[in-house]
Amino acid sequence: MFPERFQVGEHPGKVFALRSDAPRGMMRAHPSIETDVSQWDDCRQCPEFDSCYRLCMAQIALETAVSTN
């Protein structure tokens, strides 16, 4: 559902894609997030949606906790 990595470059996920360029000088890089709405609709129809979504969110929460400590 979400990209596996949140780093510089292009990282497609099943529904969401992240594109981030390297920072230039003192300017901070601004990521671009794209959403495949038709794929999101397909995911929401899946009987495993709730479980899959919770797993993705837990993974993001863990990555956030690890990166801030």
Establish if 1 belongs to a structural domain: no
Domain of residue 31: give its range: 9-68
Pairing of strands 32-35, 16-20: antiparallel
Mean pLDDT for the stretch of residues 48-63: 91
Tokens 């510089």 — which residue?
8
Report the alpha-carbon distance of residue 17 to residue 47 in Å, rounded.
23
- Count structural domains, the chain: 1
| Contact present, 40 and 13 (Cβ < 8 Å) | no
Establish if 4 belongs to a structural domain: no
Its pTM surpasses 0.75: no
Taking 90 as the threshold, does the pLDDT of residue 5 lie above it?
no
Mean pLDDT for the stretch of residues 50-59: 91
Establish if 3 belongs to a structural domain: no
Establish if 32 belongs to a structural domain: yes
